[in-house]
A and B are shown apart, each in its own frame.
Chain A
Amino acid sequence: MRDWPLWEVFVRSRRGLSHVHVGSLHAPDAEMALRNARDVYTRRQEGVSLWVVPAAEIVASDPGERDAFFDPADDKVYRHPTFYNVPEGVEHL
């Protein structure tokens, strides 16, 4: 059991919201991972839908490359939609 693979768990808390990463667990296969996720992460009505993903299948950015990946966005404030005049009465922006 020690060599059971690791799975990442994502829970959708309500209809209309997206699945959010909540943690991980060990399970021998996808079916058991889903059931274990139900038992470990939705005991207190946290969710209406579950995803489990093999942790090994997740391709993550390298913390060492953080500067090259993310810093160039720092000085490009014009990418934020703050330069538009919003007509009065427009809601839900």
Chain B
Amino acid sequence: MSTPSKTLGDYVLGLADDALVSAQRMGWWISRAPQLEEDLALANIGLDQLGQARTLLSYAGQLEGDGRTEDDLAYLRDEREFRNVWLVERAQSDFGVTMARLLLFAAWQSELYAALASCPDPTLAGVAGKAVKEVAYHLDHAARWVVRLGDGTEESHQRMQAALDAEWPYLDELFRPVEGAVVDPASLHPLVLARIEPVVAEATLEVPQVAPARGGGRAGLHTEELGYLLAEMQHLHRSHPGATW
């Protein structure tokens, strides 16, 4: 039987893991982005997400009540204990895919944090109030690239549409019911679409008509690729427990 604090903890852990896993994927771009300026932009975005993840992880640890710290939760949980959605966990090495994904993710985070900023939980409201400004910039960055590539050359248009088609099935998971949710996930659906669709239209792209992916991240079911991500993210801490910079 789960207590209210435990279910809230699970909810917070989901949001924390979304941010943490997305940050780790952003980090992949460092030294690989199209040019130096974009390298820094993506690293900055990843660091913003990591900052959100740290506060949320600490709070999730407190709510859980077993004394686990942010590091314990980030580095010492196995794949099945992670609660992030599939949208953020899959490997990506195509810049268009990263921008399509960031557009969807940042649009969702923008509405989520805007709603959480006025929720009665002071910790969540605090994190959200700070993060809402960060994700506004992430959304702007992604939107500009999606428009630029979508409304660019014939090839960039076609590749941007393919990227959007590839990421769109993973949007649905963000709006599925979650136990302990402070903000009803379904209530964000129209708001998030209202942020994404004008960008897609301006980019001269089509809103994909695709079936939702299965998902299941909130219940600890993940794609194979999360395992590789965790191996890279956790191996140093596990090989050298307590290591610090």
Contacts and interface: CB of A to CB of B under 8 A. Distances in A.
A31 B44 CA distance: 18
A35 B35 contact: no
Interface residues of A, number: 13
B183 to A, nearest CB: 29
Contacts of B155: none
Contacts of B35: 1, 4, 26
A39 interface: yes
Contacts of B141: 35
A28 B148 CA distance: 10
A31 B40 CA distance: 17
A13 interface: no
Give the top 10 A-B pairs by smallest Cβ distance, nearest first. A36-B37, A39-B41, A39-B40, A40-B40, A39-B44, A1-B35, A25-B37, A1-B34, A40-B37, A26-B35
A19 to B, nearest CB: 20
A26 B37 contact: yes
Summarize B's interface: helix, strand, loop or mixed. helix
Interface in A3-32: 4, 25-28, 31-32
Contacts of A32: 144
Interface in B27-59: 34-38, 40-41, 44
Interface in B153-181: none
B37 A39 contact: yes
Contacts of B40: 36, 39-40, 43
Contacts of A43: 40, 44
21 contacts: A1-B34, A1-B35, A4-B35, A25-B36, A26-B36, A27-B37, A28-B148, A31-B144, A32-B144, A35-B41, A35-B141, A35-B144, A36-B37, A36-B40, A39-B40, A39-B44, A40-B36, A40-B37, A40-B40, A43-B40, A43-B44
A27 B40 CA distance: 13
A31 B144 CA distance: 9
Contacts of B37: 25-27, 36, 39-40
B34 A36 contact: no
B62 to A, nearest CB: 29
Interface in B196-219: none
A42 to B, nearest CB: 10
